[in-house]
Structure 1
Amino acid sequence: MSKDYYDILGVDREATAEQIKKAYRRRAMKVHPDVAPDEDAADQFKELNEAYEVLSDPNKRAIFDRGGDPMNQSAAGFSGFGGGGGFSGGFDFSNLVDAMFGAQGARGPRSRVRQGQDALVRVQLPLHEAVFGTTKPIKVDTAVVCPKCQGRGGEPGSEPVTCATCNGNGEVSQIQRSFIGDIRTSQPCPNCRGYGTTIPRPCGECSGEGRVRSARTISVRIPAGVSTGIRIHLEGQGEVGPGGGPAGDLYVELHVAEHGTFRRDGDNLEMVVKVPMTAAALGTTVNISTLEAEWDGSDEADRSVAVEVPAGTQSGTRIALRGRGVPKLRGGGRGELGITFLVQTPTRLDDRQRELLRELAGERDEMHPEADVHRGGGKGVFGWLKETFSG
């Protein structure tokens, strides 16, 4: 065999079914493509699932232990010898070996209690909650333990009884005659579906499943600095398994809504502030509301900041305020708040204002200026305009 499933799961060859299950869950939490950063996480997870599929199935595990390939269906049964007949219907190779060496019936009944699946819920956050963090109530609709039978599957006071068809073995056998003798084959009992017991009075609430669907609300702590696509892992908050089995895990996927004023760029926040032409020419100070103004947990002093507009400021001038951006999700500190000024030219003037501007233009010899074409390299003016207004 090219793969050692025991090595993939990290268990020894004598591991019990419970040890294999625990090893799988522990390993899956590390290599799941949604949480693992490795590029080959998907391949690792696929290989891990294959290993668990084999070792959790007594039949496939037996084939693997004997050196066979449990994932190759053609190796698990015969369709004939040399194309000349033999076994017309085919049968499980493990059943043949079991019959020859007296191991039939070793699989036994399967448990009604099984592990539940993981669940995923998507949550949209406003920008300030993603930046500063919050504890948010999340509505989840999953399978939970049946409140009436507590996962047992039967009406209160009733107990499962041994299946009369298979006598509690969970499987039934039949004998097939062949040229090498009688072959005993086994299959899950059709009456009890392999459980070895039947429930005479199934629970009216869950129909014997041991679980029901229910909507509930849980509190999820969202750390400061999260971004769209981040998933929060909550162990044991997913789907309860059949028979009231252990619950899977819950993944909360975050999506951050766009903001009308601020644009996020990594750990930085960007905004555009409009200033009148005269203020840009003469210089001034403007008060700007920060993102903290939308966060109830902020200090009053942090909800606005006074920003100096230097005399002669041009459209596209950017200044940066350190420590006013997004908290770093991994590590300390915050990014910066970038403020880009957009100088506004007045469009409505009265006679007095128009005369004053004419006087200013005359003083500066700008009544009939020649066009000054921008010849800068790089992204240029148009690149800046696109970047500014698309954000």
Structure 2
Amino acid sequence: MSGKISEFSRGVLALERLSHYSSNRQSQRSTDRISNDDASSLFNYIFFRSHRGGSLLSEVIRDYTGCTELNLLRNVRKMHQMCDSRPGISSTVLSLVAGLYSSSNLKSMGFSFGAEQYILAKWKAEKEKFGLSEYQRHVPASTVKISDDIKSKVRQILFEYSNNSSETIESGSQGSANQFEEVRFLTKPKREIFHLLKNRYPGIRLGLSKFYELCPKNFKKSTKRTDVCNICVAGEKVKKQYEMLRRSQVADSTQIARLKESVDEYKVHKMLSSKQRLNFNSQIGRLQGKSCIIITDFKENFKIGGGPVESSRDYYEKPQISDLCFCVISKSGGNVQRRYYNYLSENLSHDSLFAIN
């Protein structure tokens, strides 16, 4: 009789482990009758205290772990783990089992997810949305091929926030002739220009390091700013002073108002300067055939020819000269060309208006 009880109890436990115990009422009534309504004590005795308990337990576990349902759950769990919590795909994989098992049951089986992901997975299971059509493969920005359009936008914004100069840099050779490009000095740090680019084109896929790589060598950081107007010289200082006083709790309101007025004037000045630069670049872009743009500048009372070491006599006896400079901008074959003509003389009048006329 004890052998029959053991075999019967083993079958009941196997059915319970496979989630069929509650639906088999006859087995449940038989177990309750044999165990005197204490089935858990009967199972505990058979598997953990009886002579054949160890072998029976191993057999039940082997049957349970070998069932098809558990293998499928294990495969879905591994697939869900490999999704690495990606939006869209993790919840879709979880929806395969979320409609059949509760959140606590799935977590006891080794699944790892948040409450929001489980709710979304339940909704997908109810709507039978098991497809991955909305999934887009994640490609890091560093590995995306840079298009010609992005390169053009980078060069355009660098040109916008830079000033021309009389310096040139070798850009390669074509045949036997060396090619040179104009050196342009940036008016803002490259990092700041990068953020301006991202704000202008929010959808652009470009990282800071890749932006640095795309910056042509002829765009350089300005080492010295000359011919700066009085508003530009004082503007940044006034701006910093205004921010400092605005945060202070003991600052004079009249002084803050006066500084704010100066800061607003500086902002308008910078905006007009930016518009003027854009209009100038637009005029260069519209150049055709025989048309050209001529820029003239006059610099007076400076000395040339100095060296790293020179005597006081050579330094003080060096004559002052003036420079009348012309920059001729034209287009040839779609490329912008700049030619510089400098007239250096000790005899030029130190009156720029008279010298130009």
Answer yes or no: same fold by TM over 0.5. no
- With structure 1 as the length reference, what TM-score do the two structures score? 0.20
- With structure 2 as the length reference, what TM-score do the two structures score? 0.22
Higher RCO (CA 8 Å, separation ≥ 6 residues): 1
Larger strand percent: 1
Larger Cα-atom Rg: 2
Larger helix percent: 2
